[in-house]
Structure 1
Amino acid sequence: MSARLFSILRVLMANEKPVTSEYIAQLLNVTSRTIRDDIKILDRILQDFGANIQSIRGIGFQLIIDNDHEFRSFLNQKLNEQTVPNSPEERITYLIKRFLLADSYLKLDDLCEEMHISKSTIQNDLRSVKKIFKQYNLSLQQKPTYGLKLYGNEVKMRFALSEHIFDRSEPISKTTWIKQLAQITEISLEELEKVWSIIIKEIKVNQIYLSDIAINNLFIHIIIAYKRIKDGHYVSLIHQDLKEIKLQKEYQVALSIVRKTETILEIKFPDVEIAYITIHLLGTKMVKQSKLTETEFENILEKQTQVLTTKILDLIEAKMNLGIRHDQELIIGLGLHLKPAINRYKYGMNIRNPMLNDIKLNYPVAFEAAVMAGMVLDNEINVLIDENEIGYIALHIGAAIERKKLKTGPKKCFIVCASGLGSAHLIKYKLQSVLGSQIQVMGTTEFYQLKQIPFSEIDFIISSVPIQEKLPCPVIVVNTILSETDLDRIKTHLNKRTETINDYIKEEFVFLNQTFPTKESALQFLVNQIKTKMSLPDNYLDLIYEREEVAPTAYGNLVAIPHPITAQAKETFLTICTLQKPINWSNKRVQLICLLNVEKDGHKDLEIMYKGLIKVIEDPTIVQQLIQARNYSEFIKPLLQLYS
């Protein structure tokens, strides 16, 4: 079965609702007629394996599974088959693997023949391949009549190998990627299992706690080191660093792992290789958080890490008002994560995060908060972390956000009253008697002490005095003696309709069926359109690009949600653009752009907007309806139906 047929099957499996041939065609960069023809072929294949593709006129195609056992057997069989890469993403992955594993030059003509593509197509793919290699300081060098070969630092070469030669995403079992390693290194499965057992035993005996992902990374590093040493490639390390590493407890653990591995693989690891295995242990070790007191936490972490943790949480609270600044689990968890993260950066190590896309999709607010953590590390200690590391930090922040939700009880308010404490208490007790557990009065104050109110800890203010100045939370003005009208107004606020994504969309900022060849031209257009209606900082576009550099905002399913790295707008709203044809956005295809403009120093609940956007991203039917809309009325209709 061809790669394209398998890609179509993946799309159908990923969607419970029918999807159109146009939608699949845009994802795979072919015509809808090609997709319809392919679906007929795919349907004939699937009918022999307990499934079929149902065509629903005017709606799309849907996968129907009649026999789950037969269908699963079919999938397992097809997953193990080698197919020619077809989509741009598959071709880029294939080329990366070919150059990483090649010992000699590769000719473009030979690669074109292997992949059944034209020279112009491969030259276009190579631009993306070179960008990815650049992240590791690796480069493709051309030699006339010989072709292209990958060059660069041996350590960086190994990091690239560990990331790209096989699939280590979460659903893939250990058995699968060990088989892939066996093919690449020519080590037997039995020997690989023995090395794995050595690592597990040594880290247990020495009480070094590693995550599953960290153990995988360590194992893969050792096996790649074996292959590279065997092929005559050696790493180098500054003498002073080597001396410092040898003093660490983890060096003895690495030494024990290496000596036992040498016996199995019949190869000698140089001292410097042991140092790099030590760096893996230093860069991934965890402390069991549940056993830590605050004093022990301070003893484990250097003062610098404690200060960084505090600065990160202060910035997140100031910019996003998440109400998690004093979450003890977050303070400890983030601090413990930062220590090995800084170690990883110090020694030029990368870290793979197989959950990255899921984190970005399911915890977008936490991910944006983690981007701010990255800004603090860059500004304070010149440590520039990538989106994989940001994703792990987002997990800590996301957990704190979820903990706060669990603790959410009654709506919290503060009472402002100009006529004294007695009047304020009268309002307080009246509210408690009428609204009971729906409301919690956090305190009372006079108007002149307004700025002393803990705004981050309350939901709204009830005031017997009109308040003209803008405050970070809503104000309900009432009479000192609460009337039925006053109480009704408060009740309405407590039970008010939840905001939706539609509250952030204005017709004047929706641009349909545009024709932009690149993300740069599309973003320039959107920013220019905003500037015709309101003032923006001169560097607004630069701030959007700065955010893209940290982590691309293309979420898949043809949608991108770009935004400046820090809030800069006068209000929170979306600027939206649909395209006639998809464009390349960091190796993902994008046809719906939602530029997120966030109010500077505002305290809007961004989670509402993100949840609305994620609802759209996860539904290909809605995405297609938005892309195909010819006017604003057609565009807004599916969004209104989301909340009907």
Structure 2
Amino acid sequence: MSNAKQNRINRMINVLENSSSWISSSMLASLLGASERSIRNYVAEVNEAGTRHIESSKEGYRLAATTSAAGNAPASLLGNADIVPAGSDSRRDFTISRLVNARDGLSVFDVSDELFISESTFQSSVMPQARALVRQFDLNIETHDYRMTLTGREADKRKLLGHIATHNSYGYFTSTKTLENMFPGFDVQGILSSLVEICQRSDLFINNYAFSNLLMHLLVIIIRLTSNNELSEVDGPIDGDGLVAQLGKREQIVRCAQCIAAYFEKEFGCAVPRADFQQILLLLALSVERCDFGDLNREKLASIIDRDFMDMVLGILDECGERYNLPRFIDEPMRLQLVLHMFNAYQRAVYHVSYPNPLAAQIKSEHAPVYDMAVYIAHRFSTAMNVEVGENEIAFIAFHIGAYFEKFSAPDGAITCTVIIEEYHDFARRLVDDLKSEFGDDISVVAVMSCDGYLADPPESDVVIATIDVPVCGGSTKILIGPILTKQNVRKIRDRLCAIQEQRRRLYAQGLLGRLLQPGLFMRNVDANDATSCIDRMGELLAAQGLATPEYIADVHLRESVSSTAFTDSLAMPHAISVYPERSFIAVAHNDASIPWGRHDVRFVLLIGIAQEDMGLFRDVLDLIIEVFSSVETTMRLMQTDTFEEFLAALTHDIG
């Protein structure tokens, strides 16, 4: 199966998973960029594989409920050695694992037989994908007389194995199963349990993500050493001792590394070579927390890292706050935590140690504004330090700033409320206390009045909560309840409050997007075959209308090069990373044919330009648009639009 075809099948399943209704074959074909006949074939293949079941009717297709969580995972990830790899990624990874373990190379015919496919299919579909993946790790698959050999440094082969183990669809959750499938002769679970016990006895604090990454690297080292594949001079010198010497926990790190080496020698009967021991030291040193975040202050931080480095990162954080118009951008404790995190990220970049983030894609799609700020910080940092900061590290930066950034997002605002209740002992006070306790910051009680008092001088408020049926004034919403706040009353009030918030949000979105979207910036079927050409075409239109300069479009390309702005399967939102346009706008390209955009194929491109004075709106723009495109039903409606007016109506229809 070709990689493109497998990607379309995966996207089809994702669309069906996120749809609450049947989806027609024609709409699926449009969403995936395939023919209706192909859709029928994809459905048949999924149902034949048996891991998921797609129901069909005259209304279209929908995904049947699965009976267990395991039913969602590909068979090749569930540790069943009797199941032959069927998907394109599974066949690719199976081939690579066999090549890594084969000292004398492999026969093309033997691997084809193991996969139950023809030699021609293997050569035309599996090998191109395998070669493309290994090239990312500076490795090569050489073929002579139908015999394949994986060539390159041992260090790069280990990185490749770690990547395959941790970059499947289920991340760390199935990485040990993946290693078991790749190395069926090893007791992976037994080795893992021993490593966990050694690390837990080491008196080292390692966070969960670093710990999972560390264990995967250690497992790969042990597996490779037992096959007599050790690091050599070709792999380059590794100075784990030098890094460990800088750390306060150096004695614990060395002791932990020695325990791992002793376990290896006792269990497998051979010593750990010096270069591999240095690698273990390095992995441990880059995994431990330098200090307790709760005790962190500027003096303590200056004792761990260079003060110039600290000032540089703090300066970047100040620039980020200015860029996004957030004068209160993160507090002092979080600023110091980020400085320490960026120092660790710098060390990982210098020593070329990977640190996969299994939630990177989720963070990017669900917290786009925060992720975008992390992109800005990563770009400025990588430029200043001349190191590469990838998407995994960007997602970790987003982790750090996310919770704090949410404090400064534009709030919906508390709903003002007037309470009408007749005085009877302390019933009025108790009702107001119960309302405040139940609804917290969602409401702001501006007045507590009797019926006569309200009719004589009604205050302005969004809501009137009354225990007496009284006519309300000024367009307020009336909610009639009993004098005792029952669960039924609470649900009634909450439903009305939600309706008000939804209406506010819809009006706000319609106003905001209506202001930024313009008929003259709506393009249908742009002549573009990739992200670069699409941005250029849209840039030409913007330049013709005096909205964008060549400098601005160049900055949009720069932002795209740091991290793809395709936040969903159907949508890309390119924008600048440093330069501001003269005034704010959103240019729209709606294509019937999909445009390859990073790992996605998009049909909609919204090129966003936010003037400096409007940067406070940036978070709202991204959030609102992504919210719309996260809905399968709304995306389908948007795809059926042809004019600007139809597009704007569909875009703002379901917000809130």
TM-score (norm 1): 0.73
| 1:588-599 equivalent positions in 2, closer than 5 A | 588-599=600-611
Q: 1:638 to 1:407 in 2, by over 3 A?
A: closer
Aligned to 2:178: 180
Separation in 2, partners of 1:334, 1:24: 43
Aligned to 1:313: 317
- Match status 1:374 vs 2:378: yes
Asked if 1:365 is matched to 2:369, the reply is yes
Compute the displacement of 1:327 (Å).
0.7
- 3-state DSSP of counterpart to 1:554: coil
Matched, 1:258 2:261: yes
For the 8 Å contact 1:536–1:569, the answer to whether it is kept is yes
Matched, 1:269 2:281: no
Q: 1:512 and 2:524 equivalent?
A: yes
User: Which residue, 189, 192, 197 being the options, matches 1:201?
Assistant: 197
Q: In the alignment, is the contact (CA less than 8 A) between 1:374 and 1:385 conserved in 2? A: yes
- Determine the structure 2 residue equivalent to 1:389: 393
Deviations 1:356-411 (A, max 9, x none): 11111122122111112222322322222111101100111112112446999899
Query: Is 564-573 or 208-217 further displaced after alignment?
Result: 564-573
Alignment partners' CA distance in 1, 2:534 and 2:410: 41
Name the residue aligned to 1:449: none
1:610 and 2:622 matched:
yes
Equivalent residues in 2 for 1:24-43, closer than 5 Å: 24-25=28-29, 30-36=34-40, 38-39=42-43
Please name the residue that 2:155 is paired with. 155
Match for residue 21 of structure 1 among 16, 22, 25: 25
CA distance in 2 between counterparts of 1:125 and 1:550 reads 30
The range that moved more, 232-241 or 112-121, is: 112-121
Does the CA-based 8 Å contact 1:563-1:595 persist in structure 2?
yes
How many Å separate the matches in 2 of 1:376 and 1:116? 49
Tell me which residue corresponds to 1:571: 583
- Relative to structure 1, the CA distance from residue 638 to residue 546 in structure 2 (aligned partners, 3 Å threshold; closer, same or farther) is same
Q: Identify if the C-alpha distance between structure 1 residues 35 and 527 changes in structure 2 by more than 3 Å, giving closer, same or farther.
A: same
Deviation at 1:550, TM superposition (A): 1.7
Match of 2:639 in 1: 627
**What does residue 491 of structure 2 align with?**
none
Bigger mean CA offset, 164-173 vs 116-125: 116-125
Aligned to 1:490: none
Shift of residue 352 of structure 1?
0.6
For residue 123 of structure 1, report the CA deviation from its aligned partner.
6.9
Q: What secondary structure sits across from 1:555 in the alignment? A: coil
Instruction: Give % identity.
Output: 19
Contact 1:19 / 1:620 at 8 angstroms: preserved in 2?
no
Q: CA deviation at 1:347?
A: 0.7
Residue of structure 2 in register with 1:217 after alignment: 213
Query: Are positions 1:498 and 2:508 aligned together?
Result: yes
Residues of 1 paired with 2:362 and 2:566: CA distance? 13
Question: Aligned partners of 2:629 and 2:341: how far apart in 1?
Answer: 30
| From 555, 558, 562, the counterpart of 1:546 | 558
Structure 1 residues 119 and 385 mapped into 2: Cα distance closer, same or farther (>3 Å)? farther
* Alpha-carbon distance between aligned partners in 2 of 1:511 and 1:122, rounded to the nearest angstrom: 41
Unpaired segments of 5 or more residues in structure 2?
Answer: 416-442, 447-503
Q: Describe the superposition over 1:196-223 as per-residue Cα deviations: whole angstroms up to 9, x where unpaired.
A: 3343333333332112221221111122
Q: CA deviation at 1:148?
A: 6.4
The answer (yes or no) to whether the contact 1:561–1:594 under 8 Å persists in 2 is: yes
Matched, 1:290 2:290: no
1:443 maps to which residue? none
Q: CA deviation at 1:156?
A: 2.8
Q: Secondary structure of 2:545's partner?
A: coil
Which residue in 2 is equivalent to 1:464?
A: none
Contact 1:21 1:35 in 2 (8 A): yes
What is the distance in 2 between the residues matched to 1:95 and 1:629? 45
**Which amino acid in structure 2 is aligned with residue 533 of structure 1?**
Q
Q: Is the 8 A contact 2:98 2:182 kept in 1?
A: no
Pick from 332, 337, 341: which aligns with 1:337?
341
Change in Cα spacing, 1:127 to 1:616, as seen in structure 2 (3 Å) is farther
Task: Decide which moves more: 323-332 or 356-365.
Answer: 323-332
Deviation larger for 349-358 or 99-108: 99-108
- The 8 Å contact of residues 105 and 147 in structure 2, kept in 1 or not, is answered as yes
CA contact 2:526–2:590 (8 Å) conserved in 1:
yes
Amino acid at match of 1:606: F
Q: Is the 8 A contact 1:85 1:94 kept in 2?
A: no
Give how far 1:505 is off: 1.6
- 1:526 match: 538
Structure 2 CA distance for aligned equivalents of residues 130 and 106 of structure 1? 15
Which deviates more, 628-637 or 22-31? 22-31
Alpha-carbon distance change, 354 to 382 in structure 1, aligned in 2, over 3 angstroms: same
CA distance in 1, matches of 2:93, 2:604: 25
- In structure 1, distance between residues paired with 2:33 and 2:348: 38
Q: 2-side partners of 1:212 and 1:56: how far apart?
A: 48
Q: Following the alignment from structure 1 to structure 2, what is the Cα–Cα distance between the partners of residues 545 and 92?
A: 32
Cα distance per residue 1:99-120 (max 9 Å; x no partner): 6666566788998996969989
Please state whether the residue corresponding to 2:550 is helix, strand or coil. Answer: coil
Q: 8 Å contact 1:12–1:63 — kept in the other structure?
A: yes
Relative distance call for 1:30 and 1:103 in structure 2 (3 A) is farther
Letter in 2 for 1:63: L
Question: Deviations along 1:230-288, whole A, 9 cap, x unmatched?
Answer: 44433247658355146343233222222213322333221111211222122222233
Deviations 1:271-310 (A, max 9, x none): 1112112221222222332344554344344324421331
CA shift digits 1:595-632 (9 cap, x unpaired): 22232465332111111221133112322332332222
Work out which of the residue numbers 83, 86, 92 in structure 2 matches 1:84: 86
Contact 1:279 1:344 in 2 (8 A): no
Unpaired stretches in structure 1, ≥5 consecutive residues:
412-435, 440-494
- How many pairs were matched up? 551
Give distance in 2, aligned partners of 1:516 and 1:128.
25
Supply the AA of the counterpart residue of 1:269.
V
Higher deviation after alignment, 122-131 or 346-355:
122-131
The residue correspondences of 1:338-487 to structure 2 (distance < 5 A) are 338-404=342-408
The equivalent residue for 1:244 is: 242
| Other structure's SS at 1:84 match | coil
User: Aligned Cα RMSD in Å?
Assistant: 4.1
Q: Could you tell me whether the CA contact under 8 Å between 1:504 and 1:574 is conserved in 2?
A: yes
Cα distance change on mapping 1:352 and 1:172 into 2, 3 Å: closer
Identify if the C-alpha distance between structure 1 residues 292 and 129 changes in structure 2 by more than 3 Å, giving closer, same or farther. Answer: same
The residue correspondences of 1:21-170 to structure 2 (distance < 5 A) are 21-25=25-29, 30-36=34-40, 38-39=42-43, 53=55, 55=57, 57=59, 60-65=60-65, 69=67, 74-75=71-72, 78=75, 80=78, 81-85=83-87, 133=134, 135-136=136-137, 138-140=138-140, 142=142, 145-146=145-146, 150-165=150-165, 167=167
Distance 1:326 1:639, change over 3 A: closer
Scaled by the length of structure 2, the TM-score of the pair is: 0.72
SS at match of 2:606: strand
